[in-house]
Amino acid sequence: MTLAVVVALAAITVAIGLADTGAASLWRHAYHVPVLAATVRWGAAGMVAALGAVLLYAPFVLPALERVGATPAVLEGLLTFGSLLGIGALGSALTAGARRQRTRYETLVAVHRAIDGDTPLEVALGRLRACLEARLQGAVAVVVRDGDRLSIAGGAAVASGGAVGRVLATGTPLFVADLGGRDVPRRCFVAPLLARGGATGALALERDGDIGADERQAVRALAAHVGLALENARLAALQRRFADELGEKVAAATRQIVENDRMKSEFVAIASHELRTPLTALQGFSELLATRRFAPSEIVRLGAIMSAETERLGRIVSDFLDLSRLERGLPPPLRRERVDAAVVIADAVEVLRRARTTHELEVDCAPILPPLDADPDALDRIVKNLVSNALKYSPPGSRVRVAARPLQMPPAVEIVVEDEGGGIAEADLERVFEPYYRAHGAVRAAGGVGLGLAVVKSLVDAHGGSIRAENLTPHGTRMTLILPAVP
Amino acid sequence: MRALEQTLVPPADGWLTDTPAAALSVLAVGWLVAVVALPPPSARVIGLAAAHGALLGTALAWTATERSERWAPLQAALLIGTAAACARTFPGGALAYLAVPVWLAWRRGAWLSRPRAGWGRAIIAGAVFGVVLGLHLLVNASLTLGYRLRPPPIAGLIGWIAYDVGANVLATEAFFRLALFRRAYRRWPFLGAVALSAGASVARYLVDPLLPHSAAILAGATFYLALLGAGNCVLLVRTGSLVAPLSAAIVFFGAYRLLTVR
């Protein structure tokens, strides 16, 4: 294109020279074509073509002006000067303006593309900076306030006394004509990113050479646009995160409901079975007593069996009542008094030892234990529940150990029940104290409705104590409960 | 990025910071004394030395980075005055002007350091610009004003070229482009700085006693020197070195010396 313009200007000049009509040659009008083409092609640089045409045409006009004065032909030549320069200036201005406008629209589209999508802020800023550097032809930095910190693209840190630091502090644009230290002036313009009624960051353009007033205005508008676009992207990301979190919560709640439903169904089945067993025994023995005659010793034996089954039925019903209170958020009723833990433990273990002779039951209480401020019946249920569980889930012939020792600061008693069973899966350790929850394999291993440990925990909590379950090496389970002593 | 990481320091230099006022005063007084007390030929030598020395010395002082250049105008004037005296006294004495760029290369090598675009490209770019402008001047002046294209004797032409290289062009480009233009460009937009630099250099030539003072000459000088000044500002910015503007101006003035102007 450059060569074509140069050749065209030269050819027209030669044609004017050959026409031998000097300033009046009609070929002079042809200069407008390459000048117009150059202004359309190059914008402001097209003015050079207009100047070149004037320089080339001048030797035909100025000598005539010097020789014959301002004749009509000379005036036409001078008019052509004005026309060429005018077209050059106007065309250049219009083309440059149109290009600027087009560049701005393209830049806005590029900005939106750069920060579109669900990308982290740092990545979006990096893309935005690369896009703006290519279009603004200078070094670009984008700084955005992200909570208490600054996300920066284009540098490592923001100096508080620097150009960007000042704009972040004041929220007003800043133009620095020369950052100093070099032969060529290093200009910089920093515009605030505007959103939420204030400056949320800054857009800095730095370049060797001019940053004109028009360009500064454009960068300012661009910064305002970028601020809004980033704010929209931030809000969209926030909304997406909220939606994701909500979805996860709903899914978790749904899973929990399904799990609760499953556990309750299982509970109903087990509870029915557990209730039916003593009821069947009671029904059978009572029918036998009603329809047959037995020896007194046999009646005593049957009565003892019926009494035991009734007691078992009563325990199950008590557990249900406790569960009902537990689910309503009510603590179990306690009648607190000074209790000697060693005595309660010894009594409870003795009862169970008589009932189950399959295990070796060992009691190891410290000689002196501080008295507990507890409900003796509740403590009895706690110990019996824990020891019963240990007996249920450990093989016959194994050892079950119950120990108690005093704790200082604050004064308390630690009661430990250990067995030599298969232990509890790690995943179940946290949940064994939940109502209805039964560890995997627990149903097969032993009966029960899965309320025992939940009731124990509610009783321990009501006493202000704590309980935890852990596995022993190489096998076995340890239940450790701590109950506060009388102060 | 400096806007981000560098603390903003307000520019310390004003328009006249580092101006060697004392040396310039001495030169002005010396020139006045010479005009009053000395015969015209001697006064012209002193005037030429004072004017070019003032421009070159001020340019040195304004662009100094390490040491103060308070007396640079006197040193430059002394050197140029000696060269002018040699030119008037001995045949071929004008070649003494060539000592000035040598002295300058010793004093301020950075001015003539390798341009960003490379030596070849910078010199060629300047020379092409100078040739285009010079040729147009020759064609236009001979056609319009009827000046004859008659080169002076070779010895005289070499003398003029030596004067341009060592004093006229060197002092003008050093002060109006390297010092004044850069100082203006730090504060103003490019076009404003170009206008100031080119306008000031045109004014410098319009008051030059060596330029014939007819209306046609003054109009032509204004036109071409304004173009030369503006173009040299562009060359300075594009190449980052004084080499290209010097090349353009030397070629242009070389063309001008081919004209017989009265």
Question: Cβ of A143 under 8 Å from any chain B Cβ?
Answer: yes
Would A415 be classed as within a structural domain? yes
> What are B259's strand-pairing partners?
B149
Put simply, the answer to whether A162 touches B237 (Cβ < 8 Å) is: no
A122 with A103, same domain: the answer is: no
Count: domains in chain A: 4
What integer is the mean pLDDT of B242-260? 92
Least Cα distance to A481 among A451, A457, A450 occurs for A457
Question: Cβ of A190 under 8 Å from any chain B Cβ?
Answer: yes
What integer is the mean pLDDT of B190-210? 93
A196 with A239, same domain: the answer is: yes
Question: Cβ of B140 under 8 Å from any chain A Cβ?
Answer: yes
Rounded CA-CA distance B80/B85 in Å is 8
Put simply, the answer to whether A209 touches B190 (Cβ < 8 Å) is: yes
Residue of chain A whose alpha carbon sits nearest to that of B6: A162
Going residue by residue through chain A, which has 487 residues, state the pLDDT in tens, using 9 for 90 and above.
889 999 999 999 999 888 877 777 888 899 999 999 999 888 877 888 998 999 889 888 887 887 788 888 888 888 999 999 999 999 988 998 898 888 889 988 988 888 877 778 888 889 899 999 988 889 999 999 888 888 899 888 888 889 999 999 999 999 998 887 777 889 999 999 988 778 889 999 999 888 988 889 999 999 998 898 888 888 888 888 899 999 999 999 999 999 888 878 877 877 787 788 788 888 888 888 889 888 899 888 888 888 888 887 887 888 778 777 777 878 778 888 999 999 999 998 888 887 767 888 899 999 999 999 899 988 998 998 899 888 888 888 899 999 999 998 889 999 999 999 888 888 788 788 887 666 555 554 555 666 788 888 888 988 999 999 999 888 899 999 999 998 8
Contact between A330 and A461 (Cβ < 8 Å)? no
Phi, psi angles (nearest 5°) of residue B191? -65, -40
Neighboring chain A residues of B189 at a CB cutoff of 8 Å: 210, 212-213
Would A186 be classed as within a structural domain? yes
Put simply, the answer to whether B216 touches A66 (Cβ < 8 Å) is: yes
What pLDDT is recorded for position B37? Answer: 92
Put simply, the answer to whether A157 touches B182 (Cβ < 8 Å) is: no
A151 with A40, same domain: the answer is: no
What pLDDT is recorded for position A448? Answer: 61
Would A471 be classed as within a structural domain? yes
Residue of chain A whose alpha carbon sits nearest to that of B234: A209
In this predicted complex, what is the ipTM?
0.80
Residue of chain B whose alpha carbon sits nearest to that of A63: B144
A84 with A181, same domain: the answer is: no
- Give CA separation, A123 vs A119, A120, B32, in Å: 6, 5, 70
What pLDDT is recorded for position A439? Answer: 56
End-to-end Cα distance, chain B = 57
Contact between A332 and A325 (Cβ < 8 Å)? yes
Neighboring chain A residues of B188 at a CB cutoff of 8 Å: 177
Put simply, the answer to whether A185 touches B7 (Cβ < 8 Å) is: no
Would A380 be classed as within a structural domain? yes
The contacts of residue A293 (CB under 8 Å, 6+ apart) are none
Would A266 be classed as within a structural domain? no
Residue of chain B whose alpha carbon sits nearest to that of A161: B7
Question: A with B: how many residue pairs have Cβ under 8 Å apart?
Answer: 92
Comparing CB atoms, the residue among A156, A186, A213 nearest residue B5 is A156
Question: Cβ of B222 under 8 Å from any chain A Cβ?
Answer: no
Question: Cβ of B135 under 8 Å from any chain A Cβ?
Answer: no
Give me the domain span that covers residue A413: 337-484
Contact between B61 and B19 (Cβ < 8 Å)? yes
Neighboring chain A residues of B187 at a CB cutoff of 8 Å: 177-178
Residue of chain B whose alpha carbon sits nearest to that of A168: B4
What pLDDT is recorded for position B224? Answer: 93
Interface test with B, best of A65, A164, A167, A215 (most B CBs within 10 A): A164
Helix (H, G, I), strand (E, B), or coil: what is residue B260?
A: strand
State which of A50, A80, A109 marks the end of a domain. A109
Put simply, the answer to whether A161 touches B8 (Cβ < 8 Å) is: yes
CA of A255 vs chain B CAs: smallest distance (Å): 51
Would A250 be classed as within a structural domain? no
Residue type, A304: A
| pLDDT over 70, % of chain B | 99
Question: Cβ of A339 under 8 Å from any chain B Cβ?
Answer: no
Put simply, the answer to whether A162 touches B11 (Cβ < 8 Å) is: no
Would A255 be classed as within a structural domain? no
A307 with A190, same domain: the answer is: no
Would A248 be classed as within a structural domain? no
Decide the pairing of beta strands A360-365 and A399-407. Answer: parallel
What pLDDT is recorded for position A447? Answer: 54
CATH number at residue A383: 3.30.565.10
Task: Give a three-class secondary structure readout of chain A.
Answer: CHHHHHHHHHHHHHHHHHHCCHHHCHHHHHHHHHHHHHHHHHHHHHHHHHHHHHHHHHHHHHHHHHHHCCCHHHHHHHHHHHHHHHHHHHHHHHHHHHHHHHHHHHHHHHHHHHCCCCCCHHHHHHHHHHHHHHHHCCEEEEEEEECCEEEEECCCCCCCCCHHHHHHHHCCCEEECCCCCCCCCEEEEEEEEEECCEEEEEEEEEEECCCCHHHHHHHHHHHHHHHHHHHHHHHHHHHHHHHHHHHHHHHHHHHHHHHHHHHHHHHHHHHHHHHHHHHHHHHHHHHHHHHCCCCHHHHHHHHHHHHHHHHHHHHHHHHHHHHHHHHCCCCCCCCCEEECHHHHHHHHHHHHHHHCCCCEEEEEECCCCCCEEECHHHHHHHHHHHHHHHHHCCCCCCEEEEEEEEECCCCEEEEEEECCCCCCCHHHHCCCCCCCCCCCCHHHHCCCCCCHHHHHHHHHHHCCCEEEEEECCCCCEEEEEEEEECC
Question: Cβ of B92 under 8 Å from any chain A Cβ?
Answer: no
CATH number at residue A164: 3.30.450.40
A62 with A155, same domain: the answer is: no
Least Cα distance to A445 among A397, A400, A399, A392 occurs for A392
What pLDDT is recorded for position B202? Answer: 96
Least Cα distance to A419 among A456, A388, A381 occurs for A388
| B138, burial (CB in 10 Å: exposed 0-12, middle 13-18, buried 19+) | middle
Contact between A162 and B5 (Cβ < 8 Å)? yes
Contact between A346 and A365 (Cβ < 8 Å)? yes
Contact between A436 and A264 (Cβ < 8 Å)? yes
A360 with A433, same domain: the answer is: yes
The contacts of residue A291 (CB under 8 Å, 6+ apart) are none
Put simply, the answer to whether A179 touches B1 (Cβ < 8 Å) is: no
Comparing CB atoms, the residue among B8, B11, B145 nearest residue A162 is B8
Neighboring chain B residues of A55 at a CB cutoff of 8 Å: 136
What digits encode the pLDDT tens for the residues B210-220?
Answer: 888 777 788 88
Neighboring chain B residues of A158 at a CB cutoff of 8 Å: 4-5
**How open is the CA angle B133-B135-B139, to the nearest 5 degrees?**
120
A172 with A289, same domain: the answer is: no
What pLDDT is recorded for position A449? Answer: 62
Comparing CB atoms, the residue among A63, A179, A184 nearest residue B6 is A179
